[in-house]
Structure 1
Amino acid sequence: MTGRLTSYRHGDLVFDVNDEGPLDGEVIVLLHGFPQLNTLWDHVVPRLHEAGYRTVAPNQRGYSPGARPRGRWHYRLSNLAADIEVLVGELGQPVHLVGHDWGAAAGWFAVSTAPHHFRSWTALSVPHPGAFFSAMFRGQMFRAWYMVVFGIPFLPARVLGSARMQGRVRRWTRMPADVHQRYWEEVGSDRARLSAGLAWYGAMPLENPLAARIRVQVPTTFAWGTHDFAFGRGAAMRCADFVEAPYEFRQLDGMGHWLPDEAPDLVAELILERVGTRP
């Protein structure tokens, strides 16, 4: 058991961490996505703490001011997964992992390549990359266009960082108004943080494509909202093909992409169901 973490180091990079809940509890590591910070989990963690779990939520690469290397090469999924593995090493024990949006993408990579670090895996909104690519010609490409656009240098940061564009951004992403306001205050209005978050998109073509085919050996739950603007049913349903461990798919009717904000109690319940299940 370790003491409280306020930060941790991976090489020259220093990551900010929210470490809460019972110190002697099993650890749940929570990974945020784009365009949010670890505050994403603020309304989820109280129930996890009540159930006796310790939660550790880092601000990931590019979002922590001390972990913002220049150049999109640094933001490949393999590097993001390595950040998670170093955090687990700091904690000194295998952890339950939870990820939303890009946090889910990084988490899929981590549990696929280093399963011994993880007791369980709960992915929200974003399916296994193999499922994503296998569904590309079955409608997913019409949802994924923005991922290519966001990888263009400079322009996306200017558009997404413009106060005048925020109404359109909110309508397109179907963000609840309060969620969008927090995105704007924490990330959207901070050009350095926004640009670093967008570098995750720019790094997508730089990853080894074979990594998308690695199957998961960790007990897994994948939750997907039927009104998700970014990922369709085809990708969601193919996720099971890439998990060779106990697996549960939870379809959340009427929910969108921003599950921890839209339904924090439901997300906490899903997490507790997974972490409380032993293979």
Structure 2
Amino acid sequence: MRTRKITTDGLTQQVLEAGPEDGELVVLIHGFPELGISWRAQVQALAEAGYHAVAPDMRGYGGTDRPGAREDHTILHLVGDMVDLVRALGKTRCHVVGHDWGAPVAWHCALTRPDLFRSVMGLSVPFQPRSPKAPPTVLMRALSQRLGLGDFYINQFQAPDAHLEFESDVASALRRGFHAYDGATPDDRRSTGFMREGKTFLSSVAEDAALPPWMSEAHFGEYVAAFTASGFRGPLDWYRCIDLNWRLTAHLQNKRIAVPAAFLVGDKDPVRVYAGQHEAGLKDWAPDLRSQTVLEGAGHWIQQEQPDAVNAALLGFLATL
């Protein structure tokens, strides 16, 4: 397993990779607030199975370039980065896997470039078809009102200075974030994604939040060092582009995913509170959905909480191809 930097079209990406270079390429896309290192267990398992596994730090994260403008973080940029990465690696086909924010990127890779991405697996976040009714933030406010649980964190992230709270104490922000969405966290301390009046995502989590049992101090230190250096503006710009994404993807309205697909989610994942409604209709939008699995006891950080189960599901899915 090695880390290196690859120059693509206008972007230098840091990647974690292993496996034979002539093996089938599998690209693993992380979410928030994570890095390519969140896929270590999968990179190792894929490499041992003969695949060429590559997990990049995504645009705005870690060792990859951090564009300065908010509008440089749209879904089209993120998909384009993966297209460029595959080309820079000398491949014309690959499999794509995404977790959290990386899942929408992976779904859209398969949706828009089925010629390049021959299969897709989403973790934690199901494919969510574009709604013609209104931009996402409008629909999210309506959902907040309907559920009566408070302000939705993604709406709070729209504020241009929302990242500053995370940067004021990086270690505390990361510890609270991992704790709030982990499967081992007691139910009454796990986040719902909705904030009571006067609370933010971070202030809604107890100050004594502990690291998840799978997160060693050394591993946590890698995250703290990376986000101390890179900050949180770029990662939150992903969220601040969601309405722009909606405007840019009108041409994809009602388009379905044509390639083989799979989905994996933890039964204790808070994302299911607000995105779980899309799980039931996933096969309508990905007709070649070959597996849809709920892992008992797992929270949001599924590939790190239950790496053996995720590895088995991933390799099992790839074997069907």
The Cα shift of 1:11 comes to: 2.9
The Cα shift of 1:156 comes to: 3.5
Say if 2:214 is the partner of 1:214. no
Q: What is the identity, as a one-letter code, of the residue corresponding to 2:47?
A: H
Secondary structure in 2 matching 1:247: strand
Q: 1:253 to 1:150 in 2, by over 3 A?
A: same
Which position in structure 2 is the counterpart of 1:255?
A: 298
Deviates more, 1:254-263 or 1:201-210: 201-210
The Cα shift of 1:226 comes to: 1.2
Secondary structure in 1 matching 2:282: helix
Q: 1:239 to 1:155 in 2, by over 3 A?
A: same
Deviates more, 1:122-131 or 1:103-112: 122-131
Identity in percent: 31
The Cα shift of 1:48 comes to: 1.5
CA distance in 2, matches of 1:273, 1:190: 37
Which position in structure 1 is the counterpart of 2:196?
A: none
Say if 2:244 is the partner of 1:201. no
CA distance in 1, matches of 2:269, 2:130: 16
Say if 2:284 is the partner of 1:241. yes
Secondary structure in 2 matching 1:83: helix
RMSD (CA atoms): 3.0
Which position in structure 1 is the counterpart of 2:34?
A: 36
Asked whether the equivalents of residues 140 and 235 of structure 1 are also in contact (C-alpha less than 8 Å), the reply is no
CA distance in 2, matches of 1:144, 1:105: 22
CA distance in 2, matches of 1:243, 1:178: 32
Structure with greater helix percent: 1
CA distance in 1, matches of 2:176, 2:11: 34
Q: 1:170 to 1:120 in 2, by over 3 A?
A: closer
Q: 1:273 to 1:167 in 2, by over 3 A?
A: closer
Stretches of structure 2 lacking an aligned partner (at least 5 in a row): 183-210
Stretches of structure 1 lacking an aligned partner (at least 5 in a row): none
CA distance in 2, matches of 1:137, 1:248: 28
Which position in structure 2 is the counterpart of 1:223?
A: 264
Deviates more, 1:52-61 or 1:6-15: 6-15
Q: 1:42 to 1:165 in 2, by over 3 A?
A: closer
TM-score (norm 1): 0.86
Asked whether the equivalents of residues 131 and 235 of structure 1 are also in contact (C-alpha less than 8 Å), the reply is no
Number of residues of Structure 1 aligned to a counterpart in Structure 2: 275
Asked whether the equivalents of residues 5 and 18 of structure 1 are also in contact (C-alpha less than 8 Å), the reply is yes
CA distance in 2, matches of 1:228, 1:143: 19
Spell out structure 1 runs of 4+ moving beyond 6 A.
131-136, 138-141
Which position in structure 2 is the counterpart of 1:149?
A: 156
